[in-house]
Protein backbone atom coordinates (compact mmCIF):
# COMPACT_ATOMS: atom_id res chain seq x y z
CA UNK A 1 0.00 0.00 0.00
CA UNK A 2 1.38 3.43 -0.96
CA UNK A 3 1.84 6.07 1.78
CA UNK A 4 -1.06 8.25 0.62
CA UNK A 5 -3.51 5.64 -0.67
CA UNK A 6 -7.06 6.86 -0.09
CA UNK A 7 -5.98 10.44 0.67
CA UNK A 8 -7.13 13.52 -1.23
CA UNK A 9 -4.86 16.53 -1.76
CA UNK A 10 -5.37 20.09 -3.00
CA UNK A 11 -2.21 21.79 -4.24
CA UNK A 12 -2.37 25.50 -5.11
CA UNK A 13 -0.25 27.00 -7.89
CA UNK A 14 0.26 23.50 -9.27
CA UNK A 15 0.37 24.23 -13.00
CA UNK A 16 4.15 24.39 -12.99
CA UNK A 17 7.31 24.53 -10.90
CA UNK A 18 7.30 23.27 -7.33
CA UNK A 19 3.50 22.91 -7.24
CA UNK A 20 3.47 20.63 -10.27
CA UNK A 21 6.22 18.47 -8.75
CA UNK A 22 4.35 18.27 -5.44
CA UNK A 23 1.09 17.31 -7.18
CA UNK A 24 2.93 14.61 -9.16
CA UNK A 25 4.68 13.23 -6.11
CA UNK A 26 1.55 13.09 -3.94
CA UNK A 27 -0.30 11.34 -6.78
CA UNK A 28 2.58 8.86 -7.16
CA UNK A 29 2.28 8.18 -3.44
CA UNK A 30 -1.39 7.29 -3.93
CA UNK A 31 -3.35 10.52 -3.33
CA UNK A 32 -6.06 11.86 -5.63
CA UNK A 33 -4.99 15.41 -6.40
CA UNK A 34 -6.78 18.66 -7.23
CA UNK A 35 -4.38 20.75 -9.31
CA UNK A 36 -5.35 24.35 -8.62
CA UNK A 37 -4.01 27.31 -10.54
CA UNK A 38 -5.30 30.69 -11.70
CA UNK A 39 -6.19 29.24 -15.06
CA UNK A 40 -7.81 25.78 -15.18
CA UNK A 41 -6.32 25.08 -18.63
CA UNK A 42 -2.82 25.74 -17.28
CA UNK A 43 -3.22 22.86 -14.83
CA UNK A 44 -4.06 20.38 -17.56
CA UNK A 45 -0.43 19.41 -18.26
CA UNK A 46 0.05 18.48 -14.59
CA UNK A 47 -3.19 16.47 -14.61
CA UNK A 48 -2.23 14.72 -17.87
CA UNK A 49 1.17 13.74 -16.44
CA UNK A 50 -0.46 12.34 -13.28
CA UNK A 51 -3.05 10.37 -15.27
CA UNK A 52 -0.41 9.06 -17.67
CA UNK A 53 1.43 7.66 -14.64
CA UNK A 54 -1.77 5.94 -13.47
CA UNK A 55 -2.85 8.52 -10.87
CA UNK A 56 -6.05 10.49 -10.31
CA UNK A 57 -6.27 14.27 -10.68
CA UNK A 58 -8.53 17.14 -11.65
CA UNK A 59 -7.65 20.70 -12.68
CA UNK A 60 -9.39 23.58 -10.93
CA UNK A 61 -9.12 27.24 -11.91
CA UNK A 62 -9.21 29.59 -8.91
CA UNK A 63 -7.47 32.62 -7.47
CA UNK A 64 -6.31 31.88 -3.92
CA UNK A 65 -6.96 35.50 -2.94
CA UNK A 66 -10.66 35.16 -3.78
CA UNK A 67 -12.58 33.66 -0.83
CA UNK A 68 -15.51 32.50 -2.93
CA UNK A 69 -13.31 30.80 -5.54
CA UNK A 70 -10.97 29.04 -3.12
CA UNK A 71 -13.88 27.85 -0.94
CA UNK A 72 -15.65 26.48 -4.01
CA UNK A 73 -12.39 24.76 -5.04
CA UNK A 74 -12.01 23.05 -1.65
CA UNK A 75 -15.66 21.98 -1.68
CA UNK A 76 -15.42 20.66 -5.25
CA UNK A 77 -12.30 18.65 -4.36
CA UNK A 78 -14.11 17.04 -1.44
CA UNK A 79 -17.19 16.36 -3.57
CA UNK A 80 -15.27 14.79 -6.46
CA UNK A 81 -12.90 12.66 -4.40
CA UNK A 82 -14.89 12.11 -1.18
CA UNK A 83 -12.74 14.11 1.27
CA UNK A 84 -10.02 16.75 1.54
CA UNK A 85 -7.13 15.49 3.64
CA UNK A 86 -4.10 17.45 2.45
CA UNK A 87 -3.65 21.11 1.53
CA UNK A 88 -0.40 22.48 0.11
CA UNK A 89 -0.31 26.29 0.08
CA UNK A 90 2.14 26.71 -2.78
CA UNK A 91 0.76 29.49 -5.05
CA UNK A 92 3.20 32.36 -5.12
CA UNK A 93 4.40 35.44 -6.94
CA UNK A 94 7.33 37.82 -6.66
CA UNK A 95 7.34 41.58 -7.29
CA UNK A 96 10.90 42.44 -6.24
CA UNK A 97 12.15 45.96 -5.72
CA UNK A 98 14.19 47.95 -3.25
CA UNK A 99 12.05 49.59 -0.57
CA UNK A 100 12.24 53.11 -2.01
CA UNK A 101 10.93 51.85 -5.37
CA UNK A 102 8.51 49.20 -4.09
CA UNK A 103 4.97 50.18 -5.02
CA UNK A 104 1.98 49.80 -2.74
CA UNK A 105 0.40 47.58 -5.37
CA UNK A 106 3.40 45.23 -5.50
CA UNK A 107 3.38 45.05 -1.69
CA UNK A 108 -0.33 44.19 -1.67
CA UNK A 109 -0.04 41.63 -4.48
CA UNK A 110 2.70 39.61 -2.79
CA UNK A 111 1.23 39.81 0.70
CA UNK A 112 -2.17 38.96 -0.79
CA UNK A 113 -1.20 35.83 -2.73
CA UNK A 114 1.03 34.31 -0.04
CA UNK A 115 -0.62 35.35 3.22
CA UNK A 116 -4.26 35.99 2.38
CA UNK A 117 -4.15 33.08 -0.08
CA UNK A 118 -2.84 30.64 2.55
CA UNK A 119 -5.35 31.98 5.09
CA UNK A 120 -8.34 31.57 2.78
CA UNK A 121 -7.30 28.16 1.47
CA UNK A 122 -6.55 26.83 4.95
CA UNK A 123 -9.86 28.14 6.27
CA UNK A 124 -11.72 26.51 3.39
CA UNK A 125 -9.87 23.20 3.82
CA UNK A 126 -10.00 22.90 7.62
CA UNK A 127 -13.78 22.59 7.55
CA UNK A 128 -13.43 19.24 5.73
CA UNK A 129 -10.46 18.15 7.86
CA UNK A 130 -12.01 18.98 11.23
CA UNK A 131 -15.14 17.03 10.28
CA UNK A 132 -12.96 13.96 9.61
CA UNK A 133 -10.54 14.65 12.51
CA UNK A 134 -7.66 14.23 10.06
CA UNK A 135 -5.64 16.63 7.96
CA UNK A 136 -2.25 17.88 6.79
CA UNK A 137 -1.50 21.47 5.81
CA UNK A 138 1.88 22.48 4.42
CA UNK A 139 2.73 26.03 3.34
CA UNK A 140 5.64 27.19 1.23
CA UNK A 141 7.86 29.60 3.14
CA UNK A 142 11.34 30.44 1.83
CA UNK A 143 14.90 31.15 2.95
CA UNK A 144 13.93 34.70 1.95
CA UNK A 145 11.95 34.81 5.21
CA UNK A 146 15.32 35.52 6.83
CA UNK A 147 15.75 38.69 4.74
CA UNK A 148 16.77 39.28 1.13
CA UNK A 149 17.72 42.56 -0.53
CA UNK A 150 14.93 43.69 -2.87
CA UNK A 151 12.29 41.41 -1.34
CA UNK A 152 10.73 43.31 1.60
CA UNK A 153 7.26 42.22 0.47
CA UNK A 154 8.20 38.57 -0.22
CA UNK A 155 10.34 38.02 2.89
CA UNK A 156 7.62 39.55 5.08
CA UNK A 157 5.05 37.19 3.56
CA UNK A 158 7.31 34.15 3.87
CA UNK A 159 8.16 34.85 7.54
CA UNK A 160 4.46 35.55 8.12
CA UNK A 161 3.70 32.05 6.89
CA UNK A 162 5.97 30.61 9.57
CA UNK A 163 3.94 32.36 12.30
CA UNK A 164 0.73 31.33 10.57
CA UNK A 165 1.96 27.72 10.57
CA UNK A 166 2.79 27.70 14.29
CA UNK A 167 -0.57 29.21 15.16
CA UNK A 168 -2.62 26.81 13.03
CA UNK A 169 -0.65 23.91 14.52
CA UNK A 170 -1.81 24.99 17.98
CA UNK A 171 -5.42 25.54 16.93
CA UNK A 172 -5.86 22.48 14.72
CA UNK A 173 -3.70 19.88 16.51
CA UNK A 174 -6.58 18.74 18.75
CA UNK A 175 -8.52 17.91 15.57
CA UNK A 176 -5.88 15.55 14.20
CA UNK A 177 -4.46 18.14 11.79
CA UNK A 178 -0.71 18.65 11.36
CA UNK A 179 0.42 22.04 10.05
CA UNK A 180 3.97 22.61 8.84
CA UNK A 181 5.96 24.74 6.41
CA UNK A 182 8.89 24.12 4.11
CA UNK A 183 11.35 26.88 3.34
CA UNK A 184 13.19 26.18 0.09
CA UNK A 185 16.42 27.80 -0.98
CA UNK A 186 17.20 28.27 -4.67
CA UNK A 187 14.94 25.86 -6.61
CA UNK A 188 15.12 25.93 -10.41
CA UNK A 189 11.71 27.15 -11.68
CA UNK A 190 10.26 30.04 -13.67
CA UNK A 191 10.38 32.08 -10.46
CA UNK A 192 14.19 31.85 -10.32
CA UNK A 193 14.21 32.59 -14.06
CA UNK A 194 12.51 35.91 -13.25
CA UNK A 195 15.14 36.54 -10.57
CA UNK A 196 17.93 35.93 -13.13
CA UNK A 197 16.33 38.44 -15.47
CA UNK A 198 16.12 41.05 -12.70
CA UNK A 199 19.80 40.53 -11.88
CA UNK A 200 20.77 40.82 -15.56
CA UNK A 201 22.04 37.26 -15.93
CA UNK A 202 20.85 33.94 -17.39
CA UNK A 203 19.06 31.23 -15.34
CA UNK A 204 21.99 28.83 -15.85
CA UNK A 205 24.61 31.38 -14.76
CA UNK A 206 22.59 32.31 -11.70
CA UNK A 207 22.08 28.65 -10.76
CA UNK A 208 25.84 28.01 -11.08
CA UNK A 209 26.56 31.01 -8.86
CA UNK A 210 24.18 29.78 -6.16
CA UNK A 211 25.54 26.20 -6.42
CA UNK A 212 29.05 27.53 -5.73
CA UNK A 213 28.01 29.03 -2.39
CA UNK A 214 25.75 26.16 -1.31
CA UNK A 215 27.36 23.56 0.99
CA UNK A 216 26.02 20.61 -1.04
CA UNK A 217 27.34 22.34 -4.20
CA UNK A 218 24.14 22.26 -6.21
CA UNK A 219 20.89 24.16 -6.44
CA UNK A 220 17.56 22.54 -5.64
CA UNK A 221 15.03 20.95 -7.95
CA UNK A 222 11.24 20.96 -7.45
CA UNK A 223 11.48 17.23 -6.63
CA UNK A 224 13.64 18.06 -3.57
CA UNK A 225 10.78 20.12 -2.14
CA UNK A 226 8.16 17.58 -3.22
CA UNK A 227 9.97 14.78 -1.34
CA UNK A 228 9.99 16.80 1.88
CA UNK A 229 6.30 17.64 1.54
CA UNK A 230 5.48 13.98 0.79
CA UNK A 231 7.01 13.13 4.17
CA UNK A 232 5.19 15.94 6.00
CA UNK A 233 1.78 14.86 4.66
CA UNK A 234 2.37 11.18 5.38
CA UNK A 235 1.55 9.41 8.63
CA UNK A 236 5.30 8.94 9.20
CA UNK A 237 5.45 12.54 10.43
CA UNK A 238 2.33 12.63 12.60
CA UNK A 239 4.27 13.90 15.68
CA UNK A 240 5.74 16.83 13.73
CA UNK A 241 3.66 20.01 13.70
CA UNK A 242 4.23 23.77 13.75
CA UNK A 243 7.66 23.36 12.15
CA UNK A 244 9.41 25.02 9.24
CA UNK A 245 11.84 22.72 7.46
CA UNK A 246 14.52 24.42 5.38
CA UNK A 247 15.22 22.65 2.08
CA UNK A 248 18.21 24.68 1.02
CA UNK A 249 21.29 22.49 0.65
CA UNK A 250 22.67 24.07 3.82
CA UNK A 251 22.66 27.64 2.52
CA UNK A 252 20.43 29.98 4.49
CA UNK A 253 20.91 33.16 2.43
P1 LIG B 1 6.25 29.50 -10.10
O2 LIG B 1 6.99 28.61 -11.04
O3 LIG B 1 6.16 30.96 -10.38
O4 LIG B 1 4.77 28.90 -9.92
C5 LIG B 1 3.82 29.53 -9.10
C6 LIG B 1 2.44 29.11 -9.54
O7 LIG B 1 1.49 29.78 -8.68
C8 LIG B 1 2.12 29.53 -10.98
O9 LIG B 1 1.54 28.46 -11.69
C10 LIG B 1 1.15 30.69 -10.78
O11 LIG B 1 0.19 30.85 -11.81
C12 LIG B 1 0.44 30.27 -9.50
N13 LIG B 1 -0.24 31.39 -8.88
C14 LIG B 1 0.20 32.67 -8.73
N15 LIG B 1 -0.73 33.44 -8.16
C16 LIG B 1 -1.80 32.64 -7.93
C17 LIG B 1 -3.08 32.86 -7.36
N18 LIG B 1 -3.45 34.07 -6.91
N19 LIG B 1 -3.95 31.82 -7.29
C20 LIG B 1 -3.61 30.60 -7.77
N21 LIG B 1 -2.40 30.33 -8.32
C22 LIG B 1 -1.51 31.34 -8.40
O23 LIG B 1 6.83 29.41 -8.61
P24 LIG B 1 7.70 28.26 -7.91
O25 LIG B 1 9.13 28.64 -8.01
O26 LIG B 1 7.26 26.91 -8.31
O27 LIG B 1 7.29 28.54 -6.38
C28 LIG B 1 6.25 27.85 -5.72
C29 LIG B 1 6.21 28.30 -4.27
O30 LIG B 1 7.48 28.05 -3.66
C31 LIG B 1 5.93 29.78 -4.09
O32 LIG B 1 5.14 30.01 -2.95
C33 LIG B 1 7.32 30.36 -3.90
O34 LIG B 1 7.28 31.58 -3.21
C35 LIG B 1 7.99 29.26 -3.10
N36 LIG B 1 9.46 29.25 -3.19
C37 LIG B 1 10.11 29.10 -4.39
C38 LIG B 1 11.50 29.09 -4.42
C39 LIG B 1 12.30 28.93 -5.69
O40 LIG B 1 13.53 29.06 -5.63
N41 LIG B 1 11.69 28.65 -6.82
C42 LIG B 1 12.22 29.25 -3.23
C43 LIG B 1 11.52 29.40 -2.04
C44 LIG B 1 10.14 29.39 -2.01
P45 LIG B 1 0.45 31.88 -13.03
O46 LIG B 1 1.47 31.25 -13.88
O47 LIG B 1 -0.88 31.98 -13.71
O48 LIG B 1 0.91 33.15 -12.40
At 12, phi and psi to the nearest 5? -90, 150
- Residue 65 alpha carbon, nearest atom of ligand 1: 18
Cβ–ligand 1 contact at 18 (below 6 Å): yes
Instruction: Return the pLDDT at 1.
Output: 86
Length in residues, the chain: 253
User: Cα(83)–Cα(72) distance, rounded to whole angstroms?
Assistant: 14
Cβ–ligand 1 contact at 92 (below 6 Å): yes
| 216 touches 249 (CB < 8 A) | yes
Q: What is the pLDDT of residues 146-201, one digit of tens each?
A: 999 999 999 999 999 999 999 999 999 999 999 999 999 999 999 999 999 999 99
The pick from 34, 60, 64, 92 for probing ligand 1's pocket by mutation, whose C-beta has the most ligand atoms within 8 angstroms, reads 92
- DSSP code for 245: E
The pick from 18, 34, 154 for probing ligand 1's pocket by mutation, whose C-beta has the most ligand atoms within 8 angstroms, reads 18
User: Cα(32)–Cα(50) distance, rounded to whole angstroms?
Assistant: 9
Q: What is the pLDDT of residues 85-142, one digit of tens each?
A: 999 999 999 999 999 999 999 999 999 999 999 999 999 999 999 999 999 999 999 9
| Predicted TM-score (pTM) of this structure | 0.98
Amino acid sequence: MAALDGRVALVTGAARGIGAAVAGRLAADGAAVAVLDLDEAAGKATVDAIEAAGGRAIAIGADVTNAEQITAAADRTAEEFGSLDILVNNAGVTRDNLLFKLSEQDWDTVIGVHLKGAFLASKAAQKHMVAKKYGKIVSLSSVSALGTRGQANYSTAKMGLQGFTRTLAIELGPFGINVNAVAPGFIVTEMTGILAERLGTTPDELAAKYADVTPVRRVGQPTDVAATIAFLVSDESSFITGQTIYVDGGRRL
